[in-house]
Structure 1
Amino acid sequence: MSRALVIVLDSVGIGGAEDATVYGDAGADTMGHIAEACAEGRGNHAGLRQGPLNLPHMTALGLGLACEASTGRLPPNLAPQAPLKGAWGYGVETSNGKDTPSGHWEITGVPVTFDWGYFPDTVPSFPAELTKALIEKAKLPGILADKHASGTAVIDEYGAEHMRTGKPICYTSVDSVLQIAAHEETFGLQKLYDLCKIARELCDPYNIGRVIARPFVGSAEEGFKRTGNRKDFAVFPPSDTILDTLVKAGRSVVTVGKIGDIFAHRSTGEEIKPHGNDACLSAAIDAMRNLPDGGFVFANLVDFDTEFGHRRDIPGYAAALEAFDRRVPEIEAALRAGDLVIITADHGNDPSWRGTDHTREHTPILAFGPGVKTGEIGRRESFADIGATVLAHLKVSAAGKGKAWL
């Protein structure tokens, strides 16, 4: 019996979607602009990386061709140099929004057709009744920030005051999210999680997709740094995803990284949540080695987004892509006859773009494995085609969105 692995390279978009103008993202192109920057020397960083973008394994899977199909432009140094080893195409998001739940839910067959709630880009940003209830229920001395902000900048701005007063740092963005940052040691990690659970309930009437705990350490003198103990408190998907379908069919499911949080821990099977891209990829590869027939591994590699996209760090993003590419042969070595791997993304986060938010983009779809037919799978009119293909490959039938390309 076949097995399947889906790896989401969080935020690795490949060109502005047709509706990108609606989101202020016309012209955004995460992969294309990174490749161009590296070709021009803007991706160089002493001790980190130098020269043109070097992704030989993903290029052989069709990454450059997927970019060209999406935008009409072949990014520098992404032209295949040998016969292709995979099937390639690109996905078009139909969901409302350009954030993590929308992208992941659509991948698993549940596009977001409703409108998320958002907090306005004002100061204060949160409704007074929400702030009042949060302070009262959590017995807080108050909150700090209460505005749209970059996660790293807001900690630098309010970290010292937070440690002095005990007031958590609450902020948002263009996404449907309330983020709460607090010091792991002086405030306490479990206290932060408990606070986010209260905020999650209070955000439900506003239809906010996620409340995110953003723990950090450090001091004003030595600088503050976010830790890997982030935790997302999401709402449930509105209908059954392929995860639900597979669990009901008795199949083994393993989720790696923040997948469990994104799906509110519903039908997420064995959850493994290490810190960092490398550790998450290692966990996914190990899971594939041990996965029984008919099983499914679903992994998210978040560092592309959180560490480099939001921080507009082109060299860091390029280095992370190259680090992942070097490990593609390890993925291939863990496969058995009949296995399918799909590499994709959930949205864009162009590090050359204005602001610090996600970008509305097409996403790559690279499929490979022993026996997988190589060649173009074309433009997929919904990310849900990925989930439909996984179910078809695993021979599990279910009514839902998406069309399999198998």
Structure 2
Amino acid sequence: MTQFKRIFLIVVDSFGIGAMPNAKEYGDEGADTFGHIDLIMNPFHIDTMMKLGLGQLHPTIHAKIDSEPAGYYGRMFEASVGKDTITGHWEMMGIYVDKPFITFTETGFPVELIQELEKQTGHEIIGNKAASGTEILKELAPQETMSHSKKMIVYTSADSVLQICGNEEIMGLDELYRCCQIARELTMRPEWKVGRVIARPYIIQNGQYIRTSNRKDYALRPPHKTCLDVLKENKLDVIGIGKISDIFNGQGISESLHSDSSIHGMQQTIELTKKDFTGLCFCNLVDFDAKWGHRRNPIGYGKELEAFDKNLKTLINQLTQNDLLIVTADHGNDPTHKGSDHTKEIVPLMIYSKRFKESKQLEDQNNFATIGATILDNFGFSMPNNSIGTSILSQFL
């Protein structure tokens, strides 16, 4: 028996709420994305999230704690090895990742991989180092454009990614995507396996190199069925917003909506409240991570949270008695931490419905798959074989 007709799952990408017990193993001891942003933002207006119990999960200095929160709220501890986007999202849907994806942050990609990529794409590769997307364009885009795309920018980051920059007007999107497909196939080899290959198109505007919204991610296929597959196989809607479809390589997704920004992603989610569907709306808001966390900008991160909070209030106002809202994160990315990497952190779990009559703090969850198991339980299904996760639906119904 279906309890809620529609479930809206929102992932505030990288919004951690304090270091995991094993954070030291990742070089992340003392990381605290929310806490350190709260220290800097004064004032800090995130009243909607505080209403959902965020203040009960983490002490605050400037964000005002709501003494009468609504819904159910708790903390989730990642079970998988790693601290990246794919690992976090896959775990939410039931996959335990026991081996971290390979990173090439310190060394760049192996010569053998670069040579093979050059051979198969027909482009000379420049870059091959860890860098921010904006800085690599400043440094190397002039070379690429002057070569009329005979040269191709390849770079990585603190994540397990291979990224390729291409000028939309010179290289063209089709050629950029073709080269990324080749890179994806090459990096399926165990010794080169990265979590994602990312197409990073850009244009030149008023002398500036501007990345466009035509980014495309080429992720790995999940190793086995997830919560999403079960929903789709049983004719329920699975609507992915933002990079959800990319993260799962399209597996288990019935409809995918591209987002230009996190604000746009929330607008799309709000718009979906007007749609008569049965199933899951799964939204990832990437700007928190890509624009602010990696670039170590706590003020920008805090302002993005304030903008999200306003849209979250609008979304809640649009929900019906038959809707369930879940707000969480996939990892941390403390904008005050050293380097530019993700941070191994606990994440919040905030659950709300207009049907709820009480509010309560949940026990700590020892994996993110609590979410997928609870979603399937709502629709009367069990997690697929080889999955982790236990439903907590009975705790709020």
What TM-score range do you get, normalising by the shorter chain? over 0.9
- Stretch moving more, 158-167 or 130-139: 158-167
Question: 2: CA distance between counterparts of 1:185 and 1:306?
Answer: 24
Could you tell me which of 46, 55, 58 is aligned with 1:64? Answer: 55
Q: What does residue 309 of structure 2 align with?
A: 325
Question: 2: CA distance between counterparts of 1:90 and 1:78?
Answer: 18
Q: What does residue 103 of structure 1 align with?
A: 88
Matched, 1:212 2:212: no
5 Å matches for 1:225-244? Answer: 225-244=210-229
Aligned residue identity for 1:310: H
Structure 1 SS opposite 2:172? helix
Question: For 1:117-142, what per-residue CA distance to the aligned partner results, in whole angstroms no more than 9, with x for missing partners?
Answer: 232512xx2112211111111111x1
Could you tell me which of 143, 168, 189 is aligned with 1:161? Answer: 143
Q: Which runs of 5+ in 1 are unaligned?
A: 39-50, 68-73
Structure 2 SS opposite 1:93? coil
Q: What does residue 306 of structure 1 align with?
A: 290
Could you tell me which of 41, 46, 57 is aligned with 1:55? Answer: 46
Question: 1: CA distance between counterparts of 2:322 and 2:362?
Answer: 19
Structure 1 SS opposite 2:169? helix
Alpha-carbon contact 2:158-2:340 (below 8 Å) kept: no
5 Å matches for 1:256-295? Answer: 256-293=241-278, 295=279
Aligned residue identity for 1:126: F
Q: What does residue 126 of structure 1 align with?
A: 109
Cα gap change, 1:177 to 1:307, in 2 (>3 Å) = same
Alpha-carbon contact 2:14-2:331 (below 8 Å) kept: yes
Q: What does residue 32 of structure 2 align with?
A: 29
Alpha-carbon contact 1:258-1:273 (below 8 Å) kept: yes
Q: What does residue 350 of structure 2 align with?
A: 366
Question: 2: CA distance between counterparts of 1:211 and 1:252?
Answer: 27
Give the deviation of 1:146 after TM superposition.
Answer: 0.6
Give the deviation of 1:79 after TM superposition.
Answer: 4.6
Aligned residue identity for 2:332: G
Matched, 1:402 2:385: no
Aligned residue identity for 2:253: T
Q: What does residue 121 of structure 2 align with?
A: 138
Give the deviation of 1:171 after TM superposition.
Answer: 1.0
Alpha-carbon contact 1:254-1:287 (below 8 Å) kept: no
Alpha-carbon contact 2:32-2:332 (below 8 Å) kept: yes
Alpha-carbon contact 1:343-1:365 (below 8 Å) kept: yes
Question: 2: CA distance between counterparts of 1:115 and 1:324?
Answer: 31
Question: For 1:332-359, what per-residue CA distance to the aligned partner results, in whole angstroms no more than 9, with x for missing partners?
Answer: 1222223211000111111111111211
Q: What does residue 351 of structure 1 align with?
A: 335
Question: 1: CA distance between counterparts of 2:254 and 2:45?
Answer: 35
Alpha-carbon contact 1:4-1:394 (below 8 Å) kept: no
Question: For 1:154-209, what per-residue CA distance to the aligned partner results, in whole angstroms no more than 9, with x for missing partners?
Answer: 11111111211221211112322111112222221221111100000000002211
Question: 2: CA distance between counterparts of 1:103 and 1:113?
Answer: 12
TM-score for both structures, normalised by structure 1: 0.91
Structure 2 SS opposite 1:261? helix
What is the percent sequence identity of the aligned residues?
40
Alpha-carbon contact 1:99-1:358 (below 8 Å) kept: yes
Question: 1: CA distance between counterparts of 2:391 and 2:362?
Answer: 10
Question: 2: CA distance between counterparts of 1:334 and 1:391?
Answer: 23
Question: 1: CA distance between counterparts of 2:266 and 2:100?
Answer: 33
Question: 2: CA distance between counterparts of 1:246 and 1:14?
Answer: 30
Q: What does residue 7 of structure 1 align with?
A: 10
Q: What does residue 43 of structure 1 align with?
A: none
Alpha-carbon contact 2:83-2:343 (below 8 Å) kept: yes
Aligned residue identity for 2:130: H
Structure 1: 4+ residue segments shifted above 6 A? none
Alpha-carbon contact 2:55-2:66 (below 8 Å) kept: no
Question: 2: CA distance between counterparts of 1:230 and 1:280?
Answer: 15
Matched, 1:252 2:243: no
Aligned residue identity for 2:223: P
Give the deviation of 1:78 after TM superposition.
Answer: 3.4
Give the deviation of 1:82 after TM superposition.
Answer: 4.0
Q: What does residue 185 of structure 1 align with?
A: 169
Structure 2 SS opposite 1:388? helix
Cα gap change, 1:211 to 1:91, in 2 (>3 Å) = same
Give the root-mean-square deviation of aligned CA atoms: 1.5
Alpha-carbon contact 1:288-1:297 (below 8 Å) kept: no
Could you tell me which of 131, 147, 151 is aligned with 1:149? Answer: 131
Q: Which runs of 5+ in 2 are unaligned?
A: none
TM-score for both structures, normalised by structure 2: 0.93
